[in-house]
């Protein structure tokens, strides 16, 4: 399909048969006069009184416990940049569709006309009691770091910036599997990251928490190497500054084991890839054009494992492997926040699922794919794998309980989702 044909198909998809991708569904009967009186006046009076007496009762009598607010100001829309809050609405509706499709979570998308951190945070904090959780989306760096920090402080429900932590969880899961296949360990590898924005920062923070040695990491941004001699570093970059004489990407990548690209197209040259250690791992996540295309990387070296953000290549790093199930687990145990233990539990669950045999029905859902099994071109599960719901949500809920983030016990009611539930046998 040509780019023009794809654009026209996308416009038609969003416009017909009715505009948009989400709608509100009524969950209670409302056909009779009695049912309407229970739904509204006078029936609402008693749950109102119960909630006024005990705010926790809102979880029993309203949709709060299964409702996520997807909030944005449109300052970093996908790969399109700062196009404003209203232009981000198709993306936010798409996110709501994914929450519902993969984890049964209802969402309201909230596009906030606020370019400064204080106004955005104030708006979201004041409406946060409506929801069981807040998903921050498409808010640009560095503002996103402060937005998330302040909302976590002010809100009593989980707040999660998916562009940061969803990406980090998927990268960590894929990297652990790739390193296993390459006969390496996270604790031993040398890693170079090109890109110092929200996604890169979150990836590195999580990997450091999981055992990547800080002294084995070099980070580069648009101004070059992040080192202790630089005077222009904000705190979120200064944490990665090394006391090193290394200044160029070529110097850093010589004999490096891992390249993480969250920067721009075609920035990893053949010469740079050739200089890396035996059996390297490449995460080239710039979208739509990665730092190096997999076919080029494999033409240069036959011992490399490559992941990208694209669905038309193997090893896609796709946040939908993570965020619906992180929220499902957090909501089900009514977690106050999403902590490091819950993120690492999600990493482990996603990585483990990729090592399981892949049912034929999942393979059949992907056109042109004949088989899937754990290996250099399958280090992460596919988004259409229904087993993600049980595996990741369960792990996150258990971690929330064990770490003290939960306010109610582990529910032990996660459905054993089978492939046949999603891909019925004909």
Query: For residue 382, which of 138, 174, 204, 70 has the smallest C-alpha distance?
Result: 174
CA dist 344 → 210, 313, 341, 365, 370 (Å)? 8, 26, 5, 29, 32
Query: For residue 133, which of 323, 365, 319 has the smallest C-alpha distance?
Result: 323
Residue in 21, 64, 89, 95 annotated catalytic: 95
Measured in Å, how far apart are the chain's first and last C-alpha atoms?
Answer: 29
Catalytic residue list contains 184: no
Any long-range contacts for 90-94 (C-beta under 8 Å, 24+ apart)?
Answer: 90/14, 90/21, 91/137, 91/138, 92/137, 92/138, 93/20, 93/21, 93/22, 94/21
Q: Strands, DSSP E only, in 195-304?
A: 217-221, 224-225, 258-261, 281-284
Which tokens go with 175?
Answer: 């990297």
| 8 A C-beta contact, residue 265 and residue 310 | no
DSSP of 43-70: TTHHHHHHHHH-GGGHHHHSSGGGEEEE
Residue 145: φ, ψ to 5°: -65, -45
Residue in 40, 61, 228, 366 annotated catalytic: 40
Catalytic residue list contains 414: no
Q: Where are the alpha helices (DSSP H) in 136-269?
A: 143-154, 162-181, 198-209, 235-238, 249-253
Q: How far apart are CA 345 and CA 325, in angstroms?
A: 11
Tell me the β-bridge partners of 261: 194, 284
Tell me the β-bridge partners of 306: 282
Which tokens go with 53?
Answer: 């007496």
3-state secondary structure of 346: helix
Catalytic residues: 40, 95
């Amino acid at each position: 399909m040509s780019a023009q044909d794809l654009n026209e198909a996308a416009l038609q998809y969003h416009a017909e048969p009715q505009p948009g991708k989400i709608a509100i569904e009524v969950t209670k009967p409302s056909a009779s006069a009695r049912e309407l009186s229970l739904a509204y006046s006078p029936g609402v009076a008693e749950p109102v009184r119960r909630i006024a007496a005990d705010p926790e009762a809102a979880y029993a009598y309203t949709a709060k416990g299964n409702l996520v607010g997807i909030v944005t100001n449109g300052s970093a829309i996908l790969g399109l940049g700062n196009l404003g809050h209203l232009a981000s609405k198709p993306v936010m509706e798409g996110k709501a569709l994914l929450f519902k499709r993969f984890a049964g979570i209802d969402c309201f998308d909230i596009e906030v006309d606020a370019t400064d951190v204080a106004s955005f945070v104030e708006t979201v904090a004041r409406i946060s009691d409506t929801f069981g959780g807040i998903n921050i989306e498409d808010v640009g760096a560095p503002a996103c770091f402060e937005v998330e920090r302040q909302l976590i402080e002010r809100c009593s429900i989980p707040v999660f910036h998916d562009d940061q932590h969803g990406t980090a969880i998927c990268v960590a899961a894929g990297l652990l599997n790739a390193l296993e296949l390459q006969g390496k360990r996270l604790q031993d590898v040398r890693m170079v990251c090109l890109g110092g924005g929200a996604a890169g920062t979150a990836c590195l923070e999580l990997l450091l928490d999981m055992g990547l040695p800080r002294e084995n990491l070099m980070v580069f941004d648009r101004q070059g190497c992040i080192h202790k001699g630089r005077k222009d570093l904000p705190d979120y970059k200064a944490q990665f500054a090394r006391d090193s004489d290394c200044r160029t990407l070529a110097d850093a990548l010589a004999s490096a084991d891992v390249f993480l690209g969250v920067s721009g197209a075609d920035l990893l040259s053949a010469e740079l890839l050739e200089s890396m250690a035996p059996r390297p791992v490449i995460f080239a996540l710039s979208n739509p054009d990665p730092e190096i295309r997999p076919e080029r990387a494999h033409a240069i070296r036959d011992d490399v494992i490559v992941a990208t953000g694209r669905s038309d290549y193997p090893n896609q790093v796709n946040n939908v492997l993570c965020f619906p199930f992180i929220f499902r687990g957090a909501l089900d145990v009514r977690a106050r926040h999403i902590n490091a233990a819950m993120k690492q539990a999600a990493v482990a669950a996603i990585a483990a699922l990729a090592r399981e045999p892949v049912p034929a029905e999942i393979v059949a859902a992907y056109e042109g794919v004949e088989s899937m099994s754990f290996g250099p071109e399958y280090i992460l599960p596919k988004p259409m794998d229904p087993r993600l719901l049980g595996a990741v949500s369960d792990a996150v809920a258990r971690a929330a309980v064990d770490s003290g983030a939960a306010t109610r016990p582990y529910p032990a009611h996660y459905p054993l989702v089978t492939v046949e539930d999603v891909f019925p046998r004909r």
